[in-house]
């Protein structure tokens, strides 16, 4: 078996691609109704077949060798029942690492900006206001695509991680680092779920939600910030996430090139109710990375504490919004491992603004479990704070995300039985409810069970009078 490698960015500069050998695994996207087994029976050189359980009509083929793969690619590409075929790519992406700075810095300005260090007071995500509503539900899980997370870190809320680097399609338990350079994931995780009120270290934006580490890469040694992996490892992780109760994902990486198979996996998982976030990249140019540039993924740029776009933050059409991404105080691998000699680190990059956005989505799900990805994206965009031109712009998207405003936007009204919003529950509201009796009308379904019945009538009568 030829090992297939994908060197992936954690913090991006423009990729440099090299000419590399062909490989022997490939994806097939079938059209609806295709007789997959019959078609594959006519293809020689197949070692194994995996039909993804949660990504419609996507198959991973493991071929005997490069020659048989090339023949299969040609044969299947001409079949009218095939949407596309794609190699499990082998490529090299190199980047300029953004090293951590000022490891003793202990103020999380992105959560509560007091104006210190030339910051603009109040320019933050309004975490303190958000936490008056919720600090997150432990049942809400955010999966991050990484080289591993330190699962022994006492300042992190984590669920059991999953390792996809062995090639097992559904992965195996365990999402920890495996070498001395697998550092990036622990810093990303802290932005989401570093614990609150534990008298230690830092705090994440959704401190009571849980991060699930999806280990889809192994860092290059000696450390240069890049990591090795396979396209299929990320596709496998997305497929697994659909059946594992994951509600949010974060990908603080740029894969350098497009992958149709990964796009299919992102689309299928979003259709299943998972909302996705990815870092826009650190090239500082009008070029959003992949997978952030997918329409099914929210691209997140970086803001500095002084209310400006970070100079390194990549931008362009499709950028969703920005979040704090400079001088971010977060968790580091414990002991002598990691970026610093302590268990915490201060670090820069869109790699850290993206998980902040993912954490805000987790807070929204915590108070409204049935909220859809489209609704999450809409409320986060509409409650963001403008930075440059009014409304949307390609440099900062809809602006800086605001956790408190986003949560307040989806809170139920203080008087839910006031159906006509006249600040009084009376016969007018009763008439509206009765006219929708037995339906799933959202306005009159006061207990959100998708049916207007006696329970809703009881709520209305219990709130009779002035709101």
Each residue's pLDDT tens digit, 352-372: 999 999 999 999 999 999 999
Q: At what angle do helices 350-367 and 184-193 cross, to 10 degrees?
A: 40
CATH 3.30.70.330 segments of the chain: 25-87
More confident residue, 448 or 160: 160
Q: What is the mean pLDDT of residues 317-321?
A: 97
Q: What's the pLDDT tens digit per position in 444-456?
A: 999 889 999 999 9
Contact 175, 214 (CB under 8 A): yes
Superfamily of domain 25-87: RRM (RNA recognition motif) domain (3.30.70.330)
Task: With H, G, I as helix, E, B as strand and everything else as coil, classify residue 53.
Answer: coil
User: What does the chain come to in residues?
Assistant: 467
CATH 3.40.50.200 segments of the chain: 127-410
The DSSP symbol for 219 reads E
Tell whether domain 127-410 is in CATH 3.30.565.10. no
Contact 23, 4 (CB under 8 A): yes
Q: What is the mean pLDDT of residues 332-343?
A: 92
User: 442: which residues sit within 8 A by CB, 6+ positions away?
Assistant: none
Per the DSSP assignment, residues forming a β-bridge with 62 are: 25, 48
Predicted confidence band of residue 109 (pLDDT cuts 50, 70, 90): confident
**198 has a pLDDT exceeding 90:** no
The pLDDT > 70 percentage for the chain reads: 91
Q: How far apart are CA 170 and CA 53, in angstroms?
A: 10
Average pLDDT across the chain, whole number: 89
DSSP sequence for 384-396: SBP-SSSS-BTTT
What fold characterizes domain 424-466?
Answer: Type 1 dockerin domain (1.10.1330)
Q: How far is CA 378 from the centre of its chain?
A: 16
Q: How far apart are CA 359 and CA 354, in angstroms?
A: 9
CATH 1.10.1330 segments of the chain: 424-466
Predicted confidence band of residue 101 (pLDDT cuts 50, 70, 90): very low
Q: What is the mean pLDDT of residues 236-257?
A: 96
pLDDT of residue 106: 44
pTM for this prediction:
0.84
Predicted confidence band of residue 112 (pLDDT cuts 50, 70, 90): confident
User: 186: which residues sit within 8 A by CB, 6+ positions away?
Assistant: 148, 149, 150, 153, 156, 177, 331, 332, 333, 338
Task: With H, G, I as helix, E, B as strand and everything else as coil, classify residue 366.
Answer: helix
Expressed in angstroms, the distance from the first to the final Cα of the chain is 69
Task: With H, G, I as helix, E, B as strand and everything else as coil, classify residue 227.
Answer: strand
Q: How far apart are CA 351 and CA 286, in angstroms?
A: 17
* Host H or E run for residue 271: helix 260-271
**422 has a pLDDT exceeding 80:** yes
Task: With H, G, I as helix, E, B as strand and everything else as coil, classify residue 29.
Answer: strand
């Amino acid at each position: 078996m030829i090992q297939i490698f994908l060197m992936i960015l954690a913090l991006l500069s423009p990729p440099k691609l090299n000419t590399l050998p062909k490989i022997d695994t490939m994806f097939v996207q079938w059209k609806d109704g295709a007789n997959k087994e019959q078609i594959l029976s006519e293809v020689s050189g197949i070692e194994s077949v995996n039909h993804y359980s949660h990504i419609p009509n996507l198959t991973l083929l493991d071929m005997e060798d490069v020659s048989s793969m090339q023949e299969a690619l040609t044969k299947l590409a001409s079949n009218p029942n095939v949407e596309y075929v794609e190699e499990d790519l082998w490529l090299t992406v190199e980047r300029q690492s953004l090293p951590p700075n000022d490891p003793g810095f202990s103020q999380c300005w992105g959560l509560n900006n007091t104006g210190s260090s030339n910051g603009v007071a109040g320019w933050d995500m309004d975490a303190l206001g958000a936490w008056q509503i919720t600090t997150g539900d432990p049942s809400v899980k955010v999966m991050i695509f990484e080289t591993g997370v330190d699962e022994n870190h006492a300042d992190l809320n984590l669920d059991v991680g999953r390792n996809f680097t062995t090639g097992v399609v559904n992965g195996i338990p365990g999402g920890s680092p495996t070498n001395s350079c697998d550092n990036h994931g622990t810093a990303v995780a802290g932005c989401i779920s570093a614990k609150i009120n534990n008298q230690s270290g830092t705090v994440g934006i959704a401190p009571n939600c849980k991060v699930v580490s999806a280990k889809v890469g192994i860092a290059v040694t000696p450390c240069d910030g890049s990591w090795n992996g396979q396209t299929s490892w990320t596709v496998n992780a997305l497929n697994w996430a659909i059946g594992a109760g994951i509600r949010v994902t974060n990908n603080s990486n740029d894969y350098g090139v497009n992958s149709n198979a990964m796009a299919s996996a992102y689309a299928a998982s979003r259709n299943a109710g998972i909302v996705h976030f990815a870092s826009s990249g650190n090239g500082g140019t009008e070029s959003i990375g992949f997978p952030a540039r997918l329409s099914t993924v929210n691209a997140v740029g970086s803001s500095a504490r002084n209310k400006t776009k970070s100079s390194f933050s990549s931008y362009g059409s499709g950028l969703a919004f920005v979040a704090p991404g400079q001088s971010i105080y977060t968790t580091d691998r414990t002991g002598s491992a990691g970026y610093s000699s302590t268990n915490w680190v201060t670090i820069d990059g869109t790699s850290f603004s993206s998980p902040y956005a993912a954490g805000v989505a987790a807070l929204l799900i915590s108070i409204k479990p049935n909220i859809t990805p489209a609704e999450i994206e809409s409320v986060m965009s509409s409650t963001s704070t403008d930075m440059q031109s009014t409304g949307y712009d390609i440099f900062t998207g809809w602006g800086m995300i605001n956790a408190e405003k986003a949560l307040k936007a989806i809170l139920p009204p203080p008087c839910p039985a006031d159906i006509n919003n006249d600040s009084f529950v009376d016969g007018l509201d009763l008439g509206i409810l009765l006219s929708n009796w037995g339906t799933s009308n959202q306005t009159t379904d006061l207990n959100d069970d998708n049916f207007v019945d006696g329970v809703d009538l009881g709520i209305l009568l219990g709130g009779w009078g002035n709101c």
